[in-house]
């Protein structure tokens, strides 16, 4: 099998959970920055005219959550039972809901919407605090069961970008805070976050965070 290729812009955005999953699990991949010739060379190749995309040999997959699920199925990151897989899907869909709100704030309403978004953030984080409190995620670092899943990389990246936007946003959520610290302490995550590639990469494409 050839190496995976991750085709995305040089931003964290919808690619960072994928990158961190690959790095933390020792899965080799090639990073392709499509920003240089996006409109003419890359956009036409993409099924929805968007990126990120994962090339798996001759297989080209777009949609960030489909990419996460594809890698999870191939690399044992989708729980141990059907129920666990369903809960992982549920949490990942909840992550997508909040990520979509965040993307809208960053790209369409930052100046006028930031204060209101941050004021409402506790309401958005509370469901995750409650979900993770039921299975010891603060100690295991896993949102479902006892093995990390693709949803952990997506949820942890979501928490990461919100801690940048609102540094105190986890102060009233001890489970989420401990879970996030567990993620940051994972050897593979720690090593990746110390690389220049990670440190120099902007969170979003418009310089807002």
Which residues make up the interface to ligand GVX (CB under 6 A)?
A: 13-14, 43, 49-52, 63-65, 103, 107, 205
CA atoms of 13 and 5, how far apart (whole Å): 17
Residue 157 corresponds to which tokens in the numbers above? 């990246």
Query: Cβ of residue 8: shortest distance to ligand GVX, in angstroms?
Result: 8
Of 103 and 185, the one with the shorter C-beta distance to ligand GVX is 103
Of 51 and 182, the one with the shorter C-beta distance to ligand GVX is 51
Q: What separation in angstroms does the CA of 160 have from each of 1, 23, 87, 207?
A: 32, 17, 22, 16
Of 72 and 175, the one with the shorter C-beta distance to ligand GVX is 72
Give the Cβ contact number of residue 145 at 10 Å.
18
Query: Cβ of residue 203: shortest distance to ligand GVX, in angstroms?
Result: 10
CA atoms of 83 and 23, how far apart (whole Å): 27
Of 12 and 186, the one with the shorter C-beta distance to ligand GVX is 12
Query: Cβ of residue 103: shortest distance to ligand GVX, in angstroms?
Result: 5
Query: Cβ of residue 195: shortest distance to ligand GVX, in angstroms?
Result: 21
Identify the burial level of 24 via C-beta atoms within 10 angstroms of its C-beta, where 0-12 means exposed, 13-18 middle and 19 or more buried: buried
Q: Are 18 and 68 in contact (CB under 8 A)?
A: yes
Of 18 and 170, the one with the shorter C-beta distance to ligand GVX is 18
Query: Cβ of residue 66: shortest distance to ligand GVX, in angstroms?
Result: 8
Q: Distance from CA of residue 170 to its chain's centroid? A: 17
């Amino acid at each position: 099998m050839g190496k995976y290729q991750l085709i995305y812009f040089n931003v964290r955005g919808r690619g960072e959970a994928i990158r961190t999953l690959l790095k933390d699990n020792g899965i080799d991949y090639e990073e392709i920055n499509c920003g240089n010739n996006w409109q003419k060379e890359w956009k036409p190749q993409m099924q929805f005219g968007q990126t990120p995309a994962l090339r798996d040999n001759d297989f080209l997959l777009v949609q960030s959550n489909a990419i996460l699920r594809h890698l999870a199925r191939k690399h044992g990151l989708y729980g141990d039972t059907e129920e666990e897989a369903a809960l992982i899907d549920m949490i990942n869909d909840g992550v997508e809901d909040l990520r979509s709100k965040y993307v809208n704030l960053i790209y369409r309403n930052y100046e006028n919407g930031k204060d209101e978004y941050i004021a409402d953030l506790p309401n958005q984080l509370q469901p995750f605090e409650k979900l993770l409190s039921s299975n010891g995620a603060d100690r295991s670092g896993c949102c479902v069961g006892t093995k990390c899943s693709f949803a952990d990389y997506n949820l942890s990246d979501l928490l990461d970008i919100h801690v940048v936007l609102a540094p105190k946003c986890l102060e009233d959520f001890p489970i989420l805070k401990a879970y996030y610290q567990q993620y940051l302490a994972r050897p593979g995550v720690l090593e990746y976050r110390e690389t220049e590639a990670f440190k120099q990469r902007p969170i979003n494409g418009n310089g807002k965070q």
